[in-house]
């Protein structure tokens, strides 16, 4: 696999090795030893999640203030713009964000460590997203940062209006959000 650094050192783009022929393809989407050896990711994953969304659905920016989750994200159908925002107040990259296009075609994955808010925008007609999480879902600790916070100025490159949940419409700007120390 190929590991690509981003402007936020802890957030990594993972390109798996894909073996293709006339029958299709094969790839390891996760191998604990390879992720530890090549990417330094030693996280223990406890939950796998799968979502399906239509074009312009924007999910996020989500995090859990306790039971923080690291996430290994990939799109298995369609294309998304995946975004990670550093919300660790003591971090030199606090308030900065990284984005990456993940698609069924490019087979890239994004490693979003604990301490980051995460969200994605569906840019294809439909997308299915799988992600592994390092802690269990705990709705009592879930928080949401406003997707269009002007202080973050995330370049979503929207084609029309986003489709948002009530929870995401009620997200808080980063300056008012509960964040990690």
Residues 94 and 37: their CA atoms lie apart, in Å, by: 27
SS3 assignment, position 166: helix
- For the stretch 52-102, pLDDT in tens is 999 999 999 999 999 999 999 999 999 999 999 999 999 999 999 999 999
Catalytic residue of the set 30, 44, 63, 131 = 131
Pairing of β 24-27 and β 18-21: antiparallel
Across residues 115-124, what is the average pLDDT? Answer: 98
Q: Are 109 and 73 in contact (CB under 8 A)?
A: yes
Q: 118 catalytic, yes or no? A: no
Catalytic residue among 62, 118, 137, 180: 62
Q: How many other CB atoms are there within 10 angstroms of residue 70's CB atom?
A: 21
Mean pLDDT over 13-38 rounds to: 95
Residue 131 is among the residues annotated as catalytic for this protein: yes
Least confident of 109-113, 115-119, 128-132, 159-163: 159-163
Can you tell me which residue has the tokens 């859990």?
A: 64
Res 102: pLDDT: 98
Domains, the chain, in order of start with CATH, read 44-176 (2.60.120.10)
| pLDDT category of residue 34 using cuts at 50, 70 and 90 | very high
- How is residue 137 written in tokens? 């879902």
């Amino acid at each position: 696999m190929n590991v690509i650094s981003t402007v936020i050192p802890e957030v990594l783009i993972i390109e798996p090795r894909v073996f293709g022929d006339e029958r299709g393809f094969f790839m390891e989407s996760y191998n604990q030893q390879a992720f530890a050896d090549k990417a330094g990711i030693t996280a223990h994953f406890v939950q796998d999640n799968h979502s399906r969304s239509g074009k312009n659905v924007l999910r996020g920016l989500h995090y859990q203030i306790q039971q923080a989750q690291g996430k290994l994200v990939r799109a298995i159908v369609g294309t998304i713009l995946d975004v990670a925002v550093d919300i660790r107040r003591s971090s030199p990259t606090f308030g900065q964000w990284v984005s990456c296009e993940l698609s069924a075609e490019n087979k890239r994955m994004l490693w979003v460590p604990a301490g980051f808010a995460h969200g994605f925008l569906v840019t294809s007609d439909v997308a299915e997203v799988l992600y592994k999480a390092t802690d269990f879902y705990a709705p009592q600790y879930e928080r949401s940062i406003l997707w269009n916070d002007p202080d973050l100025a995330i370049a979503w490159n929207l084609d029309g209006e986003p489709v948002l949940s009530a929870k995401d419409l009620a997200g808080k700007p980063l300056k008012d959000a509960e964040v990690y120390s």
